[in-house]
Every structure is written in C-alpha cells, then in structure tokens.
Amino acid sequence: MNNYDLRITGMTCESCAVHVQAALEKVPGVHVADASYAKGTAQVTANPDLSPKALTAAVAALGYRAELADVSSAGDGLHERLRESPGHGDKAGGGTLQIAIIGTGGAAMAGAIRAAERGANVTVIERGVVGGTCVNIGCVPSKIMIRAAHVAHTRRTSPFDDGIDPCAPAIRRDALLAQQQARVEELRHAKYETILAGTPGITLLRGAARFVDGHTLSVSLNEGGERTISFDRCLIATGARPAVPPIPGLAGTPYWTSTDALAANAIPQHLLVIGAGVVATELGQAYARLGSRVTVIARSELFFREDPMIGEAIGQVFTDEGIRLLRQTQVHRVRHRDGGFILETSGGELRGDALLVATGRTPNTDTLELARAGIRTAKGRAIEVDAHLHTSAPHIYAAGDCTDQPQFVYVAAAGGTRAAINMTGGEATLDLSTMPTVVFTEPQIATVGLSEAEAHSEGIETDSRTLTLDNVPRALANFDTRGFIKIVVEAASGRLLGVQAVAGNAGDLIQTAALAIHARLTAPELADQLFPYLTMVEGLKLCAQTFSRDVKQLSCCAG
C-alpha cells in the first residue's frame, strides 16, 4: 500500500471536505481517504499501482484543486503550509493560496494585510485612488472640517463669553482646505500606499475588475489593456458612493454630494441640505459654523430610525444655532438658475446658493458582473453576507459598505480581517450585537445595543432611565448641559440592552457602554463600578444609579 498526501485548495467549509473525501474513496484502488478542511489536505491509502493523477482528477471534478504533497514537508495546518512559499503571481495553482481583493479601503486593506500574514499570495485591485472612502473623502476630511468649524464656533460664541471676549473669526476656506487635504495625503501615503508597497505577498494592480466566472476576474487596466486574474478565494470590498434620489430636475445641476462638500473651496451664503441622517447633520452644522446660512430639509424627522429623543435633542441644538430645520418636507423639483438653486417643496419654494444631497449611500457593485460568479445581492445592490463574510458563492467573500452590513469603517475593517482569516482556513465570525455608532455633530450622538423600540420588536420587556446632563458634573463644569444619556435594560433581570446618548464626547463614553453590554452587566453592576470624577463617561454610572435611587440627592462623587 502507498500513502498519498494531497494539498487541496478551494475548500470553504467542512462539507467541502466531506465531498472531497467521498470522491477520493470512489477512485478505484483507494482503500481509505481522510480529507480535512482545517488543514487543507487529504490523506489517501491506495494500491501501489494507482496513478496519483486519478486522485487529483477526482478532486478537480468537484471544482477544487489538488496537488501531490511531499509527506516530509507537510505542515500542521494551512497557515504553516502557506508560509513556506509566499511568492507573487496572478495565476491560481501551486502551493500558495491565491487571493484576489477588489478595493483598497478599510475592509480591503485589513483583509490584504491579514491574508498576507497568514501566507497567502494577495492581488489587490484598485480602479481609483488608493485608500477608499474613509481616508480620502469620508471620515478623515470630514472630521478635520468639523473640528475647524468647532474652533470657529467657539471663537464666535461660548458659555464663557462673560469672561473671555468673543470675536468673529475670518474664515479662509482655501487655507483650511489645503491643511485638510495635506493631512489626507499624509495618512493615505503612510497607512495605505506605503503598506501596500512594502508588504511581502501583496501585489497592487490598478484597474477595474469584473467577474468572468467563479474563479476568474478580468481587469481593465488603467494604463490600457486587459488582464486575467485566477483566484482560489476572493474578497469584494468595493465600498459605496453617495446615493442620488430621483428628484425631477436634480440631474444635470451642480449639486453637491458629501465628496463635493468636503472639497468645496468656498463657503456658500445659503446652503440647502436634503437629508436627515449622519452626513446631512454633520456637514450641515459644520457649514453653518463656518458662516453659511443652512436649511436642512428632512423628509420625516432627524434620525427617524433612532430613539425619538435623539432627533428632538439635535433638532433643538440646530434651532439654537440658527440652522433652519424643515421636518416632514418633500422636495418635488429642483431647478438651477442664475447660479442658484430653487427647490419646490411641500412646504413652499426654497432658494439657496448651494445644494447638498445627503440621502444615504449605494454600494459600488453595479459594474462587477456578480451574477457570473453566482453572487446574490439584496435590495439596493448590496451583497448578502453571513456572519463569516461568505457571499452566496462560498469561496467568495465580501466586507464593508458594499455589503448588507452597517456602513462604518470599523465594521468594514473588522469584516475584512475576519474574511481573511476564513479565506486562509480559519473560522472567524463578525458579531455586531454590541456595535457602537457615533455621529460627530456637537453634541455628539452615540448609541450601542438595542433601543426600547428594537427590544420590544424582539419581544423583550424593558425598563429604562434617562438622565439629563444637568445631573452630570462634567457637563455642569463645561456650562453645556445639552443632551441626555439613556440606558435600556431587560425588565426581568436588569441586564443592559442598550445605551443612547446625546452629549459632549458621547463617542468616547459609548465604548464603555459597549463593553458593559458585551460583559452582560446589569444596571446595578454598572452603577457599582468606579468611574473617574468630572468625566462625561461618569454619566453612565449616574444613569445606572437612577434605576435604584435619586441621583439629585447624592453628593458630587458619591459611590
């Protein structure tokens, strides 16, 4: 009898190994076969006269790839085997797993780095600017602009104007924009371009990819021509772009998306904003603080999917800052005339110098020809994925804003990392049950876990407490008590279910709430923790204490 060790590529789960093993056992002359998904191998005991080609052919007939391995070089798992030959190339086969990744944003970069660390040969395909949305046209430039607007606002007005004379700042948008873009370019070079160029096992290919079949991509190269890429695994991480609603007259006008608003070199006298969510509120408030008169047009309410208290609190802040908010208002038509915009709405005619359309984002999947690879999409062309980041084609994965998961860069990066682990033989899942969210208005909006409405929709009876910020020492010391902290618990056990907050630095306090929910703490257990005095996160402790006592009757830092 002879013993044969086969390296198998293309298996994506334990059932794949079962099919491989069954096929090998049917080969004439085979006595015993044992396939392992975790190791990416199959061991076969067969008659001496059996040709090894019969074994590899049996595996190939199932759609996988097999090659005869030298027993003495076999490792203990896929991770160790892949590290033996970290070569480059764009053709599948040989001893190294070939992974194609479409995109260079948060999900793509996290996936490429982790896959290369685990020994795979990675080809990253990018049709545009390296770095994706976050660093180039999203998180980084928007937070720089928002911070600049905060500085302008506090110079103009603050709770300390009685003792510190306010002054009207001169806004030099060209200089602010140059500073913003310089930091964007610095981060793109350091965190994306340099890493791609300097990581062994990663090759960057510039062009637009589309699927030919389940194991092949065709890339239209930016420099001209076509290139075919064969892969064992693929990660789709193409991100999303601003969605544009089909409002009559809008197409063909020089309206702004978030990309345009972040790159505009002038502050308009009157900015009209269509939208009621994150981008509309963040950029609307920023432009107002930089000197624009701003009108926000909400089809229903601000943040209508969240706890109603959130929209009410931010709406009041906007009103106090002079931002006009039109709720329950439909835009019927858009015209652009004499350098300005005219909007016909259900509430009358509106005129402005610039128009920002901030009505969500749509996945960049329309040019990929996903059907050729058997990949299903949900409503709006988002790719459907499971907790392991598998698409409907088991050897093809997707992560980030192009999927049906929440559109946050930290979700994208976590998804890309877990997809890479799974593509290289691991078993990682992405748990979003304690995913924190932050909106960078001022005050910030932050949530984690379930709202009361979401808990009730799942059949959970709840109890909740809402703490206004005039009960939080840090807010009192700041002379800024706008907002609240709300804790939702399971009524029967007191276990924390969710936290919603509108507060200064709410984005920082929400991570403590996320960890508490993840640890399945109850409200009394959270209330019993030590929190540093005169921090906003202390508000979590105080809110938890209100389930059993009146915090107004406590001393400043009562435990």
**The one catalytic residue among 4, 37, 134, 536:** 134
Pairing of strands 226-230, 233-236: unpaired
Q: 470 phi and psi, to 5 degrees?
A: -75, 0
Question: Token match 């624009």: residue?
Answer: 292
At residue 247, the 3 state secondary structure works out as coil
Helix (H) or strand (E) holding 79: helix 78-83
Q: Which of 4, 16, 109, 145 is catalytic?
A: 16
Instruction: Tell which residue, 23, 28, 20, 70, has the closest CA to residue 47.
Output: 28
- The active-site residue, picked from 4, 37, 64, 192, is 64
The string of DSSP letters for 37-49 reads TTTTEEEEEE-TT
Catalytic residue among 139, 309, 410, 435: 139
Catalytic option among 4, 11, 234, 287 = 11
167 part of the active site: no
3-state secondary structure 331-345: EEEEEEECCEEEEEE
CA count, 13 A, side-chain hemisphere, 67: 11
- In 17-127 the beta strands, taken as DSSP E runs, fall at 30-36, 41-46, 65-69, 98-102, 121-126
> Given the DSSP bridges, would you call strands 496-503 and 444-449 parallel, antiparallel or unpaired?
antiparallel
Picking from 447, 502, 448, the residue whose alpha carbon sits closest to that of residue 472 is: 502
Q: From CA 526, how far away is CA 497, in angstroms rounded? A: 12
Q: Is 134 a catalytic residue?
A: yes
* 139: annotated active-site residue: yes
150-172 burial code (b ≥16 CB/10 A, e <16): eebbbeeeeeeeeeeeeeeeebe
Any catalytic annotation for residue 543? no
Q: Is 435 marked active-site?
A: no
Give yes or no: 16 in active site: yes
Note whether 531 and 474 are within 8 A (CB).
no
Whether 557 is catalytic is: yes
> Which residues are identified as catalytic?
11, 13, 16, 64, 134, 139, 556-557
